[in-house]
C-alpha cells in the first residue's frame, strides 16, 4: 500500500471542531510500552496535540499498568495509576488553546477475578479520583495469535469469580472497557446480556485480527467480525471505540517504523471497518479514539484525526459531533 515518509505533516482539517479523545495512555522509563513505543508522558501528549493543530475539549485516560504504587496491599497498588492521572488532570487544567481537560475521565485497573473483594479496589479508585474516575478496563482478548504476552485465560469472563466482580462493578455505577478480539466475541455478548446495567465499551473496533493465521484472510475476517458485532449491538449497553487501526492486530503493516500513510490513504484503508461499525451501532454508540502512543508508530496524531474527520464528513452535523465528541462525552460522563 502506498504511504508517505516519516516526515509527512498535514494541516488540520476543520481545526476549530471540538474533539474528545477517549483512549490514550501514559508511561515512562521502566514500563514495557516505553521499550516498544518510547516514553509517553503528559507533556509528550500535549505536545502531540499542539503539533497536530486539532482542538480537544477533553481526553480519557485508559489503564496500561503505569505508575502503580510500590507498596501497600498488592490488589490496591493499581490505584497508583489513578493517583497519577488525577494529579495530571489538575496540572493540565483547561486553558486557551488546543489542549483541553487531559484525563477528564479515568479508566483504571481492577481485577474482576477478585470477585466480591474487588469492591475495595473500586472504592479506592473512587476515593483517589471522585470527580473523574469512570470505570475499569479488563483484558479479555484471548486468541493464540495475539496478546500472548498478556497471558489472558480463555473464557475469563465466564468464570464465577469474574461474574461476582462484575456484580460489584455494577453496584458501583462504573463502566467496563474491554480489550477483545473478533474470535471470542460470543463471550462478550453473554457478558453484556447478563449485566445490562453495566456500560460496556469495546476497545479498538472489537479486534478484527489481521495477523498470524488470519493474515491474507481480510474478507473472511471482516464477515465474521461484522456478524459478531451485529450481535453485540443488539445489547443497548454496548458501545464501540473506532480505534486501534495502527496497532499490530489489524495487520495493515504501517507500524514497521519505515513508512506512514497520509490521512486519505489511512481513511480509505479503514473505511470498511469504520462504516460497518457506525452502521451497526449508530453514531450515538461509536467514538473515534487515538490509542496513542501505541498507534503513533504507524502515523502521527494529526494524520489520524484528519482521517477520522474525512470519514465523519459523510454524516450529518449531529452524527459527526457524536463520533468526534458527543458519544465519548456522554458514555464517560465528562464535564466539558
7 pLDDT band, cuts 50/70/90, is very low
Min mean pLDDT across 61-75, 88-102, 110-124, 254-268 is at 88-102
Whether 3 has a pLDDT exceeding 80, the answer reads: no
Secondary structure (DSSP) of 108-172: E---GGGGGGHHHHHHHHHHH-TTTEEEEEEE----TTS-GGG-PPTTGGGSHHHHHHHHHHHHH
Residue range 55-64: average pLDDT?
Answer: 97
Q: Which of 183, 177, 179, 241 has its CA nearest to residue 210?
A: 183
Whether 4 has a pLDDT exceeding 70, the answer reads: no
**What span, in angstroms and rounded, lies between the C-alpha atoms of 70 and 75?**
11
- pLDDT for 35: 93
Taking only the tens place, the pLDDT of each residue in 186-207 is: 999 999 999 999 999 999 999 9
**What span, in angstroms and rounded, lies between the C-alpha atoms of 234 and 253?**
32
- pLDDT for 257: 65
Helix (H, G, I), strand (E, B) or coil at 20: strand
Residue range 91-104: average pLDDT?
Answer: 80
99 pLDDT band, cuts 50/70/90, is confident
Min mean pLDDT across 79-93, 118-132, 233-247 is at 79-93
More confident residue, 99 or 8: 99
- Please list the residues that pair with 176 across neighbouring strands: 136, 200
Average pLDDT of the chain?
A: 95
Grid cell locating 232: 453485540
25 pLDDT band, cuts 50/70/90, is very high
- pLDDT for 97: 66
- pLDDT for 186: 98
96 pLDDT band, cuts 50/70/90, is low
Taking only the tens place, the pLDDT of each residue in 208-250 is: 999 999 999 999 999 999 999 999 999 999 999 999 999 999 9
- pLDDT for 291: 98
b (16+ CB within 10 A) / e for 72-83 = eeeebbbbbbbb
Percent of the chain residues past pLDDT 70, beyond the cut? 96
Whether 76 has a pLDDT exceeding 60, the answer reads: yes
Amino acid at each position: 500500500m502506498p504511504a508517505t515518509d516519516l516526515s509527512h505533516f498535514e494541516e488540520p482539517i476543520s481545526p476549530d471542531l471540538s474533539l474528545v479523545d477517549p483512549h490514550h495512555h501514559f508511561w515512562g522509563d521502566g514500563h514495557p510500552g516505553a521499550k516498544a513505543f518510547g516514553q509517553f508522558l503528559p507533556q509528550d501528549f500535549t505536545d502531540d496535540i499542539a503539533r497536530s493543530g486539532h482542538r480537544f475539549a477533553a481526553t480519557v485516560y485508559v489503564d496500561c499498568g503505569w505508575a502503580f504504587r510500590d507498596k501497600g496491599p498488592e490488589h490496591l497498588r493499581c490505584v497508583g495509576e489513578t493517583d497519577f492521572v488525577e494529579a495530571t488532570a489538575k496540572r493540565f487544567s483547561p486553558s486557551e488553546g488546543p489542549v483541553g481537560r487531559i484525563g477528564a475521565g479515568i479508566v483504571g485497573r481492577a481485577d474482576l477475578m477478585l470477585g466480591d473483594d474487588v469492591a475495595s479496589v473500586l472504592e479506592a479508585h473512587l476515593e483517589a479520583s471522585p470527580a473523574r474516575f469512570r470505570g475499569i478496563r479488563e483484558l479479555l482478548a484471548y486468541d493464540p495469535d495475539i496478546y500472548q504476552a498478556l497471558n489472558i485465560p480463555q473464557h475469563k469472563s465466564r468464570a464465577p469469580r469474574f461474574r461476582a466482580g462484575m456484580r460489584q462493578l455494577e453496584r458501583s455505577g462504573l463502566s467496563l472497557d474491554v480489550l477483545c478480539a473478533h474470535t471470542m466475541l460470543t463471550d462478550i455478548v453473554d457478558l453484556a446480556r447478563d449485566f445490562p446495567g453495566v456500560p460496556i465499551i469495546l476497545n479498538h473496533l472489537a479486534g478484527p485480527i489481521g495477523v498470524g493465521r488470519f493474515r491474507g484472510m481480510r474478507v473472511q475476517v471482516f464477515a465474521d467480525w461484522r456478524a459478531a458485532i451485529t450481535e453485540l449491538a443488539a445489547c443497548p449497553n454496548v458501545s464501540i471505540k473506532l480505534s486501534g487501526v495502527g496497532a499490530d492486530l489489524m495487520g495493515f503493516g504501517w507500524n514497521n517504523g519505515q513508512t506512514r500513510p497520509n490521512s486519505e490513504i489511512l481513511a480509505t484503508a479503514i473505511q470498511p471497518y469504520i462504516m460497518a461499525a457506525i452502521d451497526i451501532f449508530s453514531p450515538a454508540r461509536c467514538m473515534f479514539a487515538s490509542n496513542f502512543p501505541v498507534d503513533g508508530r504507524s502515523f502521527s496524531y494529526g494524520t489520524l484525526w484528519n482521517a477520522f474527520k474525512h470519514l465523519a464528513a459523510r454524516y450529518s452535523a449531529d452524527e459527526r459531533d457524536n463520533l468526534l465528541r458527543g458519544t465519548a462525552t456522554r458514555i464517560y460522563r465528562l464535564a466539558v
